[in-house]
Amino acid sequence: MREQIRACDAPPYPEANPAQVNTTELDHLRRGIRYRILYDRRALDVPGRLADLEAGIAAGEQARVADVPLKMTIVDESVAVLPVRHPPDVESRLVIRDPVLLRALSALFEMYWERALPLRVSGGLAQLSGDAEGPSADEAHLLPLLVAGLTDQEIAAQLTLSDRTVRSRVRAMMARLDATTRFQAGYQAVARGWLARDDPDRVDAA
């Protein structure tokens, strides 16, 4: 029985109607099947494509945006479907059931999912969570120290704040960034332009 479907979605799409709403997914969502979809940024630019995305998200789909490495669908932990050819087409498919390969593909999905930006679509317009918001003054001082790997105590000493205040600000900032780990917070900060992308040591150190 299906409990969860994870997918990496990217062009190309069927030429007949790339914007067609996925009624199968909507039916699955109504039945309680969880959908987590990673959309490649190029998918947002396909004419009419946002209508399908908006319908799915409104029905309960969890959607995020990243630079998707490949097209892929994983059903529960039992089967994965990938394109056979590169670049991918919409005709050929490779079905994978080997447990070792499935674990590897699941880990790949989760790695990209953790780093991706949450997607919202309203009125035919896409919004990546946090894109239009920059860091506050407090966050701008906190971020470089956080992603450099300093502990709360070390950050407190640098900013002449109490440990409690630092912990509170770190929690609040991670919530704004939809991050559950410090590494993810650093990655999200770079992805949203809160930190310079050309300073890789900052994120790697996290």
60-95 pLDDT, tens digit per residue, is 999 998 888 888 999 998 999 998 776 656 567 889
pLDDT of 114 reads 82
Write out the two tokens for 67: 């630079």
User: What CATH number did the domain enclosing 146 receive?
Assistant: 1.10.10.10
Domain end, chosen from 94, 128, 162, is at 128
Q: How many domains does the chain have?
A: 2
- pTM for this predicted structure: 0.62
10-69 pLDDT, tens digit per residue, is 887 766 565 667 888 999 999 999 999 999 988 888 887 888 888 899 999 999 988 888
134-190 pLDDT, tens digit per residue, is 788 888 888 889 888 899 999 999 899 999 999 999 988 888 887 888 887 887 787
79 and 30 inside one domain: yes
Domain end, chosen from 128, 148, 180, is at 128
- Cα distances (angstroms) measured from residue 97 to each of 55, 73, 74, 108, 110: 30, 12, 10, 16, 18
Q: What angle do helix axes 137-147 and 163-176 make, rounded to 10 degrees? A: 100
Residues 6+ apart with CB under 8 A from 23: none
Identify whether the C-beta of residue 64 lies closer than 8 Å to the C-beta of residue 119: yes
15 and 65 inside one domain: yes
Write out the two tokens for 149: 């790997």
34 and 100 inside one domain: yes
121 and 20 inside one domain: yes
Domain end, chosen from 70, 94, 128, is at 128
32 and 105 inside one domain: yes
Range of the domain at 65: 4-128
The Cα–Cα gap between 24 and 59 comes to: 12
28 and 118 inside one domain: yes
CA 48 to chain centre: 22
